[in-house]
Chain A
């Protein structure tokens, strides 16, 4: 088990990258704590698989170093890194039995026979595959196969980290939930460092203690699920996390007031003068609709009833503003929107402005 440090790491698939845009993974500095459960979240093509493959050693980065504890492993082959990786599609050795599949990484590492037997039977029990130990692996269902892929990583006690590359893509929805619970359980039991790549926010938020959000090859925020929800460091994080995503409106900033067209919104704190594009971000959960004359007038364009709550889509001076209201509450004929000022975030060029005056 190990702490994993990324030092000025960057990667380009081109031999001679010229501009920033040529990098699939832009420069990143980060420490993954020993025993942590991390999720790497982002849309397809944001560089998360690239980062994962660099950690496991399948890719050598163009720039920077990667350290396991204090050892530099940047040039080390994956088999020498003591890393386990579970792929998007289950990888099993068709011609072997379930037990032989699980034993494979141990046999390759010349672990003693008795030790192998003991660990394989232990793993069969954990994965609840005991009854199929001696059947050929190719006859199994997709989720059983994925369990084997997972087991081949866990059966090695010495792994520095276990990496998951969207491992539940091909699994049925009800099995997804079971497997994810199993993963959490295994994490508690073995305390391996786990890094879990996904583009599904529910998966990320339920699995991880800390979520790393990536966007266009860049890490835009690292934080607990609460931090990502309350203080998105980038407008992308605001959009991407939460359902519906955060409202982002262009605004003019004057100290502790934001002007949205002809309307003025009070802010929780005062800001210095800033250049660049200024945007105001607020989650729909903190927008309330009513008749309060202090609110700003909005036009309702649609109401979506989700069950426990309603999403009200409105327009504020031509900009979209969503609000989430409880199920029983009705929408007034000429509603006015109140934005909870303690929950408003200000963004300059898409990045969160943390420093008030």
Chain B
């Protein structure tokens, strides 16, 4: 759409600007403030310069958690994106089953995150949980509280359970927007099922898939509540992600300086990666022609 240049539009944006500025900028300043100061308690602070940043960037604890986060996000994206697309492809496109599928699939998305943790905590226990009990009876040694690999598998399955539907719903929205004529033309052109997917469905899902990747990356990289409830970061430190470590450090141990420095580095990483996705997205938009008649 052709937009007119008008600086008065700022008046419409002011409420949002102030609201977000107060809840974003002031706390952020606080964090920055802590990150460059040290304290002995009693509200006495003194300048610490970049010490905390150096400490964080040299601590193996930070890299350890960062690596876990990156691995987690990568695994999550690799599982959820293809799985979500294939489920969307096989979903009915019309009829009474459509709302049934949509409602049931959206259900996990609206469950409070700590309840998601609780559900899986219970579900996986060998004494009272359906999953844990079944596995134990099958002779499989499974215990997410003691075994790091089991803990990781449980957290990943839990996240797949919790969030794959978001990818499904986004892909589905992209799929149903494809006009029937595209499929008809493809049949007449003799295209195989794979080519229909590759040259019609995938390009048309492009935009929504980028949204899916962006949201799933941000949220999986910031994951806190579900693993915190399920494993509390354990066993050992095997599932201590950055955010869990951060809360432990800031609220548990009250190490405000390092926690603040870590916060800033953490935030910057999320920003950097998200900015990369955002650039790709807007470039794609700019690259596209005027919204064609077929849209």
Contacts and interface: CB of A to CB of B under 8 A. Distances in A.
Complex: A in contact with B (CB within 8 Å): yes
B293 interface: yes
B183 to A, nearest CB: 9
Given A93-B200, A95-B203, A142-B292, A104 B181 contact: no
A145 B195 CA distance: 20
Given A95-B203, A149-B185, A170 B191 contact: no
Interface string A46-82: 0000000100111000000000000000000111000
Interface in B176-195: 179, 181-182, 184-185, 187-192, 195
Interface residues of A, number: 32
B289 interface: yes
Which of B185, B188, B192 counts the most chain A CB atoms within 10 A? B188
Given A96-B199, A139-B289, A142-B292, A91 B181 contact: yes
A170 B196 CA distance: 24
Contacts of B191: 104, 108
Nearest to A146: B293
Given A89-B181, A95-B199, A142-B292, A78 B188 contact: yes
Interface string B107-119: 0000000000000
A18 interface: no
A89 B185 CA distance: 11
Nearest to B185: A91
A58 B184 contact: yes
Interface residues of B, number: 21
B199 A85 contact: no
B189 A142 contact: no
A79 B187 contact: yes
B181 A84 contact: no
B289 to A, nearest CB: 5
Contacts of B185: 85, 87, 91, 149, 152
Contacts of B179: 89
Given A138-B288, A139-B289, A142-B293, A91 B187 contact: no
Interface of A: 53, 56-58, 77-79, 83-85, 87-91, 93-96, 104-105, 108-109, 138-140, 142, 145, 149, 152-153, 170
